[in-house]
Structure 1
Amino acid sequence: MTPFKLTDELLAEIQQLIENRQNDSLRSLMEEVHYADVAEIIDELHEDQATYLIKLLDSEKTSDVLTELDEDVREAILGNLSSQEIAGELAELDTDDAADIVAELPKEIVQEVISKISDREHARDIVDLLRYDENSAGGLMAKELVKVYDHWTVLTCVKEMRQQAENVTRVHSIYVVNDQGILIGRLSLKDLLTASTRSPIRDIYISHVDSVNVNEKPEEVARIMSKYDLEAIPVVDEIGRLVGRITIDDIVDVIREEADRDYQMAAGISQDVEADDSIWDLTRARLPWLFLGLIGGLGAAAIMGGFEEMIARHAILFFFTPLIAAMAGNVGVQSSAIIVQGLVNDDLKGSVGNRLIKEMLLALLNGVILAVGLLVFTWIWKGSFPTALAISISLIAVIVVAGVIGTFTPLFLHKRGIDPAIATGPFITTSNDIFGILIYFWIARFVLGI
């Protein structure tokens, strides 16, 4: 299959077909295009053109297109559709995707849209999902799944499964519940096919099944599914009743969003923004951390001002200030990045004390190696061994302290329930810059006897 590529020529052709109302040609052109590629096309069209295309194509396709669109584009298109048309789109979607779209609709039309969905059970499932926090397993799950009761025979089970599977896009697992609807296990398709048709399900099901609670955080669900290589995981309520399932495609979205959020936070962006957002939104996201950098810079300048006399007598110390600050910031970010990654992947083992000792030894080793090279270079360049020694010892101390700060800070934030990803950005860089410069001049004063 040749990867789809949206060219200027193709986009112009589609726009021309829309303007000329050549509906048959437009349907024919879009027939073999994947819904994700149709969404890419719509993102490039004007609002009226995008709405026209959505209305023209079959809801079986456009419903999936809506889930792939940028949120602002989807909101604009839905604003141009009637309640009946929106209901038609929702009827073709799995309940989790439908609930996500309903949650974005203006409150005054939600009830009207829901009332126009012809499949009342589908409508009830959507409403049920809306009561869960979007930042939970309940807000992430879908109602579509295949479940069987443990008292059924294999023959009854197969008949019921055929009916249930009609509403399930992909059958990952067959879940077994008791009469109270409590999840008790899963069913192997191989065991189902090889067992006698008169055998009860309770004799052949597998009692072990991984599940998550409706209130579990999406990040934890992602960690569990990743750890156990699951394509889907059942969701249970507070008393263990099976209420839905989460599939791998939803988890991929969670992982991607979390990665985007952490990447922006590490870059000093405090809100979830995109390149197409307004200048004001982008400014609000960036400015807080820029202010932090400004304060850090003023703090560093104030510290250097306190050593003005020493700098005047040993001007060479001033020239190495950027190097010291840069090394402190780099080491701090490296240490914090490793810790944050370990926290996210749940890979950190042992006590905090052992982790700090290990990081100190690692930083000490790196610092000594780098300091030796710096000592030789500075001694040859300026011919003053005491000055070269002062700068080199300062570098070792700064690297060790930066490593400890970079390790301790994300662990402390995580313990306090704060996203440790902020420790990989300007926060850790600025703090290490200040501490680095302060330590640098203190040690230089001591070694040089000033």
Structure 2
Amino acid sequence: MKTVAMVSDITDGGAAIACRRLAGAIKSRGVWTVRWLAGTGDPRTGAEVVSAWPPLFALLRFRLAWRLGGARVRNRAWATLHNAAMAAAVRRQMPSVIHLHNIHHGLSFDLVRRLLRKVPIVWTLHDMETLTGSCFHSGSCRAFTDGCRQKCPSDALLNLSAGPPSKEWSCREAFYRKSRERLVWVAPSQWMYDQARARFADSMRVELIHHGIPSDIFRPCPDRAAVRAALGLGNCSGPVLMAAAHSFSSEFKGADVLIRLMAILAERMPNAVLVILGDWPPEKKPAAGCCVYAGRIVEERLLNLYYNAADLFVHASRFDTAPLVLLEAAAAGLPAVAFAVGGCAEMVQDGKTGFLASEISASALAMAVERFLALAAPAREAMRSACRERVERQFSPAIQAARHEALFEDLVARKQNNARSG
């Protein structure tokens, strides 16, 4: 049986969840074996973890740097050791394909280049960091299509651990030029696909494969009143709004927008409640409006109950590639309002599964909220049904897994053909 090795430097957040779900979907089909490389995996997939000790020289060099160096030297030494362990794991049990996800915290481009000599690689774009000179999000800047020579704008989100953007871009471009035959990019949204095409034109292969949402877990509950009572929201007499993120500490997640939104709604509908899921900075608590802070919800069935308790999902992020929370909410039959940024404009179909705000502001988001709440009950129910139907049709884990497997098979076949002709 062919093997795909999943690699992700992080085990929480949207990218890690998407990676874990894909691994589980592929494993359940029984065609490909799924393994994690160098202990980076999530045990909840049930996949085998393949790890290995790095060479003795790498261990000795790491111990010396850790003892004598400062924080920057230690971080670099840890990254070097991590890469050595990853390379040793590949040598120990060679997979048919390697599938990279977020690797911002250690895996080097030099190691990826060396791995490509042995194994084809599929790389999923969860943000723009690998397309640019190290910006997770380029904001209004389009310089990533031609060298990143301009000064980064204020609305860009930079990877501060990387070097100068133009230098990073040039190094990556040199690597990409040599990797065209055995490296394939996967974009989880049409918007990200368009960014990748703008970056690479026709020089590299890019595939559009949407995230899969487990609709057996995220699904509508028949009795919303009972769900609210179970979650301690039974006394809410007005509309219940919901916002969710892994963490709202980044300004891109829109905590400040939610604060202003609730201040606006407090004047127009005093009984409105905003349920906030995720880590919320204490210093950013709204001065007006009624908010319920539920914290970070890890258990997915409990998260589904919160989706079912709400009337509307509010996504205030200033940037998102393909936000899982919007798709999870839709699977539970929960319409959403959001800004028309990144993949949000694709995840929310304006007027069908929710509404998109006309601009990035709290007042525009408030208008979108009021637009939904003004709908008659039959129109709201129709929108709820449209949310669920779209997820089942377009964001199925089985479809996602099958498309990835077809991509893996194609890369393996190309490698074998090249070996015969070479």
- How high is the TM-score relative to the length of structure 1? 0.23
Q: Which has the higher strand share?
A: 2
Higher relative contact order (CA 8 A, sep 6+): 2
Name the structure with the higher helix share: 1
Largest Rg, 1 or 2: 1
Q: Normalization by structure 2: what TM-score? A: 0.24
